[in-house]
Structure 1
Amino acid sequence: MALIIGLALASPSAALELTLPFSSQLTTRVVTAPDSHALAIGPYADGQLPVLDLEGQVERQVFRIPGQALTTLQIFAPLREQIIAAGYDTIFECHAASCGGFDFRFATEVISAPDMYVDLTDFRFLSAARGEQDHLGLLVSASSNAGFLQMIRVTATVAAEALRVSRPGVPAQARTPTGTESPAEPGTAQTGNPTPSQASLSLADSLNRMGHVILSDLSFPTGSSRLASGSTPSLESLADFLRADPTRRVALVGHTDAVGALAGNIALSRQRAAAVRDRLVTEYGIPANQMEAEGMGYLSPIAPNTTAAGREANRRVEAVLLNTE
């Protein structure tokens, strides 16, 4: 199925024609001019995402591939080949963890759900340029029953500036941990304290402004996914937030320190996120379909794992706002 990506500008060569899987459905197409876009050109690291600030005509498109049995690479690879064949030079390419994982996904522009879906553990990204006035970013991911493709193209560029700190949200070093993995000292994992910037915002404000919030008062026994009992203000606030609008959905994302194997840490972090979801369902009456549980293991640290304090900071559960529709 051949689809035209981008409007023809000064000449037919300005158009970009890509062949997508036959069942692909265009769910979003927005063209604005003049407009701006921050194109990722490197991985998220040390609290920053390197980007090019671009200005010009910005075209945003999302395609859904229903009932697909393709992997993200099977979707991504043919498109990459076509983009290169069309005369683009690759600037940056990555897969999930090598992009910067969770932090990359929330620092780069993503069309809101349900049009675009991003699996935090399996997405692929490509940024490329054709000359100085034609740039694009390609993002591919998949759910259990569909593939998703987002392309953002900026043409007739006015400016392409150098590296800049990422947005939206708070840089990683400003985010606050919660204890959710084996603590530095024997016993129960301890929670972190909010930074001043977080303390000044309610949970709802943090979700609406930054798209995510650390649930800073959760506690798990060492090496266990059992959520400690007792009053949990962050869950009460999150329940109020979800109850106020049944269309709101969040992902509960578990994180660990770097002690142990990746597979075990991912499993444990997902189990702890699931424990938080189950508590919200059973004790607060929140419908399960408003939440999903994911685990990143140690792939998205917010502090060095070389110190006890850093490891404690990395052990946390976050709530991520998926949509506000």
Structure 2
Amino acid sequence: MIRLAAALAALLFAVTPATAFELRLGGAARQLSERDSPLGSYALPTGPFRDGSIPAQRLEGRIERQTWRIDGPGLTTLQILAPLRSQLEEAGYSLTFDCKDNECGGFDFRFGTEVVPAPDMYVDIRNYRFVSAVKDKDTAASLLVSRSRSAGFVQIIYVNRDGTSAPPAALPETGTETAPAPDLEAGFSDRMLQQGHAVLGGLVFDTGADALDPGDYDSLAQLAVFLEDHPGMVIALVGHTDSIGSLDENLSLSKRRAESVRSRMIDSYGIAPDRMEAEGVAYLSPAASNLTPEGREENRRVEAVILREQ
């Protein structure tokens, strides 16, 4: 069985001829996002989190960020990563740092390095792998791989791949530099205040299950920051489902999922219980059509809704 999974992984990630170098994830992968900065900077991690920082090489030029999802429970993070790592080496990249969750620095590494925000990237701080690779002083790439119970997630960051831009020279590595963490509240607070509600993206529940999967969720961290910055705000966590199943079943499931999120906010972020209510509306407030798999997936969500300020 293990050999079969390994063979499947090799087939899925096989390199195909291309005019420009690009890592190939195969037909089983679905791209979630792509962000291209013609002139930007990236702190490429070169070692684990230690003594309060992550050693990093600061690079400048064209920065390309991609995230991918691979549906299915079969492949491990190593089976996802290994073919991609081999492709980098075959393309002339040298691996400078290769680690697994706790070896990287666990929670501190995950939040000290650049990660595309949820829902476009999911990282379980107890199950992820990271690789940094360089081709020359201007060209580099990094891989971040994690998974939920039902899917694998891949983040790829390219720096000046294939000489596609003429960047300024890369700055030399000098001691240690902490890679900048993303601004967790950017955009979320505005949506809450202007619209009165916001979807908590990237939450993972098994099909038909009400317990929130283990792992770290950027959207919950964003909500925690919002509530800390607005100490008088009271919200409702509202669960939504797709239209499969009866109304009574979905009402119950949607409320239990909201309660699971509420419990996580209390236990992990210390939010006072009396500041959050949990409700469920089943399929009565869809965000998209229930006639397509994509629409049903979008409808399965939990939203934070402002109730009042006390």
TM range (shorter): 0.5 to 0.7
Q: Pick from 8, 13, 30: which aligns with 1:25?
A: 30
Q: Indicate the RMSD between aligned Cα atoms, in angstroms.
A: 4.0
Q: Provide the residue aligned with 1:91 in structure 2.
A: 96
TM-aligned CA deviation for residue 281 of structure 1:
8.9
- Please tell me whether residue 82 in structure 1 is matched to residue 87 in structure 2: yes
Instruction: Determine the C-alpha separation between the residues in 2 that align with 1:143 and 1:20.
Output: 18
Q: Residue 235 of structure 2 contacts residue 276 of structure 2 at CA under 8 Å; is this kept in 1?
A: no
1:315 — aligned with what? none
1:35: Cα distance to partner?
A: 1.0
Give 1:208's aligned residue: 185
How many correspondences in the alignment?
A: 202
Partner of 1:301: none
Within the candidate set 170, 189, 202, 1:159 is matched to 170
Shift of 1:19: 3.1
How far apart are 1:133 and its partner, in Å? 2.4
Q: Which residue of 1 aligns with 2:122?
A: 117
Residues 134-173 of structure 1 mapped to structure 2, 5 A cutoff: 134-155=139-160, 156=163, 157=167, 158-163=169-174, 164-168=176-180
Q: State percent identity of aligned pairs.
A: 37
SS of match in other structure, 1:84: helix
1:276 to 267, 272, 281: 267
The offset of 1:276, in angstroms, is 1.7
Alpha carbons 1:277, 1:288 under 8 Å: kept: no
Aligned to 2:246: none
User: 2:235–2:275: 8 Å Cα contact kept in structure 1?
Assistant: no
What is the SS of the residue equivalent to 2:267?
A: helix
* Cross-structure match for 1:129: 134
Q: Go from structure 1 to structure 2 and tell me whether the alpha carbon gap of 1:242 and 1:159 turns closer, same or farther (over 3 Å shift).
A: farther
Q: Provide the residue aligned with 1:60 in structure 2.
A: 65
* Shift of residue 285, structure 1, vs aligned partner: 3.1
Cα deviation code 1:68-96 (max 9, x no counterpart): 42111110111111111111100100000
CA distance in 2, matches of 1:81, 1:241: 52
Q: Deviations over 1:227-262 (max 9, x none)?
A: xxxxxxx9x848959855969xxxxxxxxxxxxxxx
Instruction: Verify: 1:44 aligned to 2:56, yes or no.
Output: no
Stretch of structure 1 that moved more, 33-42 or 20-29: 20-29
Structure 2 length-normalised TM: 0.55
**Change in CA separation of 1:242 and 1:79 when aligned onto 2, cut-off 3 Å:** farther
Normalized against structure 1, the TM-score is what? Answer: 0.53
Show the counterpart of 2:276.
Answer: 285
Is contact 2:36–2:63 with CA below 8 Å preserved after alignment? Answer: yes
The separation in 1 between residues aligned to 2:270 and 2:230, in whole angstroms, is 10
Q: Deviations 1:44-87 (Å, cap 9, x if unpaired)?
A: 10001111110011111011112342111110111111111111
Distance apart, 1:208 and its partner CA: 3.2
- Hey, what's the Cα distance between the residues in 1 that align with 2:15 and 2:59? 22
Q: Note the C-alpha offset of 1:280.
A: 5.6
Cα–Cα, structure 1 residues 121 and 239, in superposed 2: closer, same or farther, change >3 Å? Answer: farther
Shift of 1:131: 2.0
Residue 54 of structure 1 aligns to a residue whose secondary structure is strand
1:159: Cα distance to partner?
A: 1.5
Q: Deviations over 1:107-157 (max 9, x none)?
A: 110000011000001110000011222100110000111110000010155
CA distance in 1, matches of 2:264, 2:31: 33
Segments of 4+ in structure 1 off by > 6 A?
2-5, 272-275
Q: Distance in 2 between matches of 1:242 and 1:17?
A: 46
Q: Deviations over 1:176-216 (max 9, x none)?
A: xxxxxxxxxxxxxxxxxxxxxxxxxxxxxx9638x9xxxxx
Matched-pair contact (CA < 8 Å) for 1:138–1:150: yes
After superposition, residues 194-273 of structure 1 pair within 5 angstroms as 208=185, 237=228, 243=234
Alpha-carbon distance in structure 2 between the residues aligned to 1:64 and 1:207: 22
One-letter amino acid of the counterpart of residue 52, structure 2: G
